[in-house]
Amino acid sequence: MGGWIFILPLVILAGFILSSKTPLANIAVIAALGYGLLGFLDDFIKIRGKKNMGLRAYQKIIGQGGIAILVSVFYYLANTDGRILIPFFNTTWDMGFWILPLTFLVLVATTNSVNLTDGVDGLAGSVGAVYFIFIAILIALVSGFLPFYEAQIFMTIAAISCGGLMCFLLYNSNKAKIFMGDTGSLYLGGLIASLSMFSFLGFYILFLGAMFVLSAVTDILQVAYFKYTKKRTGAGKRIFLMAPFHHHLEKKGWAEAKIVFLYCAITILVGAICVLTLL
């Protein structure tokens, strides 16, 4: 449950920065806290039962989906045009009603992707901190499409979140003494997804969040290929030594610090490209 280290700063400061003038920021914070509470429940069951099994997979999906539906509906009511920015072009696309299923998909996919990335000391926290730095810069660059005050609050939330993660990483980097657990990873995924979507930058998760996407894609490919080959030959085969991909690198002998450096370096590189294309 170490994720509370970077959750509490935003919870404490929310009362000072959020108001009736920031409806989208309000929803983003509440959505992230909702996912954090779901993760807390999962961690609490594990600790109380002294076992690795917390919530069952279907229970997690129901919880994540339920929160995503509520958030998607509220976001659609606040953004009925369904406006979203096209990556690398300083223009928007009005999706209308289709922004609703897209928001649902982004929330569920991102929370699970960040959760999967939290498998190496300091990995999810480091990539998350870099993500918040660049999403704040991107929000500043596209602030003309957002209400001015709302854009300021989004950048403030990103800065607070980055600072909280840096404090957390003092104790989570290798060898970790504190772990974020599902409390932190689901909260982190929920905040990244909602903050990106509500600032019209939802499509940028595919690029700026490339390492989160990699975790999800490699995990899906591994499971699908194993089941396919097991059905065809009776003996399941694997694409990677272990999934998600950061575990494959571990099996190849990579040190955890080296994996974190690689993931952060790629995120910084992609983030710089995203920024340069909008200048």
Q: What is the pLDDT of residues 99-134, one digit of tens each?
A: 999 999 999 999 999 999 999 999 999 999 999 999
Q: Give the distance from CA 213 to its chain's centroid.
A: 10
> pLDDT for 184-202, tens place per residue?
999 999 999 999 999 999 9
pLDDT of residue 235: 85
For 115-118, which contacts have Cβ atoms below 8 Å and span 24 or more sequence positions? 115/182, 115/185, 115/186, 115/189, 116/212, 116/215, 116/216, 116/219, 116/244, 117/185, 117/211, 117/212, 117/215, 117/244, 117/246, 118/180, 118/184, 118/185
Long-range contacts of 60-63 (CB under 8 A, 24+ apart): 61/108, 63/38
Q: Report whether 91 contacts 98 (CB < 8 A).
A: no
Per-residue confidence (pLDDT) for residue 1, from 0 to 100: 82
Distance CA 130, CA 118 (A): 15
| Tokens matching residue 204 | 């940028």
Per-residue model confidence as pLDDT tens digits over 133-176:
999 999 999 988 887 888 999 999 999 999 999 999 999 998 88
Please tell me the predicted confidence (pLDDT) of residue 233.
86
How many residues are listed for the chain in this entry? 279
The residue with tokens 């076992």 is 51
Lowest pLDDT segment from 98-107, 227-236, 242-251: 227-236
Structure-block tokens of residue 216:
């999800």
% of residues, the chain, pLDDT over 70: 100
**Mean pLDDT, rounded, for 212-232:** 95
Per-residue model confidence as pLDDT tens digits over 23-73 = 999 999 999 999 999 999 999 998 887 777 778 888 889 999 999 999 999
Average per-residue pLDDT for the chain: 93
Is 196 in a helix, a strand, or coil?
Answer: helix
SS3 94: strand
CA-based end-to-end distance of the chain: 40
